[in-house]
Amino acid sequence: MRLFEVAKVGCFCDAVAHSIETRRDSEVKILKLTLRVSPFDAKLASAMPDGVRTTLFKTNVPEPKPNLSRVTFSGLCDTRQVLQVFAAPDTTKASFALDQVKITGTYARTQKDRNGFDFVFAASFGPAGRDELEQVQAWLLTQRFVTFQVAEPGMFDEDANGDEGDIADTDEQARQPRPMWADGDEQNPSRAATEAEEPAEPAKQEPVRQRTHSHAAGKTRASKMDRKLARPDKPRTRSLRRGRR
């Protein structure tokens, strides 16, 4: 989408500032121009994206709406532009061109000395070469006539690379055939791996084998003990061996 659909829009360059822009995880030195379209009438507003004309001017007549001092437009031009700069409106050849220009800070404001608006926006581009620095410095505080064109997409768009990567990964996964496993856990490695990760059930402990107790054996030992206690102890005799004299 172009910022202005008409060619050779008169733009004053009010300021030139140096700034830094992050592109693909790297910082790039850029120039930031403050451009102003003055006067900004209903005809130019009609050549802009939808919403500008109806917000600033009346529907039936090309007059500014009352009680408006400043109107800010968010996301008015999301695509980068190519600015072809002409020295005069009747010039057929552009003096220079600025590529991959990012448009931000778009707003319209009223003026005290006249009944109308000025349209102001920031144009950022870079890195700038020596010729571009000279042309921009010559444009400062003067009016040039600009034709807006849509720049080649994807050069400085950080989100474009990420989206393409996601699409490529999705297509690669879609092209890979799905494995067909036969019945049985030994045929399916994914199921075997899942079962390997599951904790094994604790082994059942065998009951302790106890020595069997025989009541008959107990009775036999008891009877022997009773007979022993009942029998009187015999006196111990000491045998002396008599020697012959």
Closest CA to 146 of 1, 36, 16, 32: 36
Closest CA to 88 of 8, 168, 167: 8
Residue type for 172, please? E
Domain boundaries, the chain: 9-156
Q: Please give the chain's pLDDT, 245 residues, in tens.
A: 899 999 999 999 999 999 999 888 889 999 999 999 999 999 999 999 999 999 999 998 899 999 999 999 998 999 999 999 999 999 999 999 999 999 999 999 998 888 889 999 999 999 999 999 999 999 999 999 999 999 998 767 554 433 333 433 434 444 444 445 544 444 555 555 555 555 555 555 555 555 555 555 555 555 556 565 555 555 554 544 554 44
Answering whether pTM is above 0.75, one says no
DSSP string, 78-97: -S-EEEEEESSTT-SS-SEE
What tokens were used for 53? 């004309």
- What whole-number distance in Å separates Cα of residue 52 and Cα of residue 170? 40
Q: What is the pLDDT of residue 159?
A: 45
| pLDDT at position 172 | 42
pLDDT at residue 103, as a whole number: 97
Ordered DSSP codes for the chain: --S-SSS-EEEEEEEEEEEEEEETTEEEEEEEEEEEEEEE-HHHHHTSSTTHHHHHB-SSSS-BPSS-SEEEESSS--S-EEEEEESSTT-SS-SEEEEEEEEEEEEEEE-SSSSSEEEEEEEEE-S--HHHHHHHHHHBTSEEEEEEEEPPTTSS-HHHHHHHHHHHHHHHHHHSPPP-PPSSGGG-HHHHHHHHHSPPPPPPPPPPPPPP--HHHHHHHHHHHHHHHHSPPPPP----PPPP-
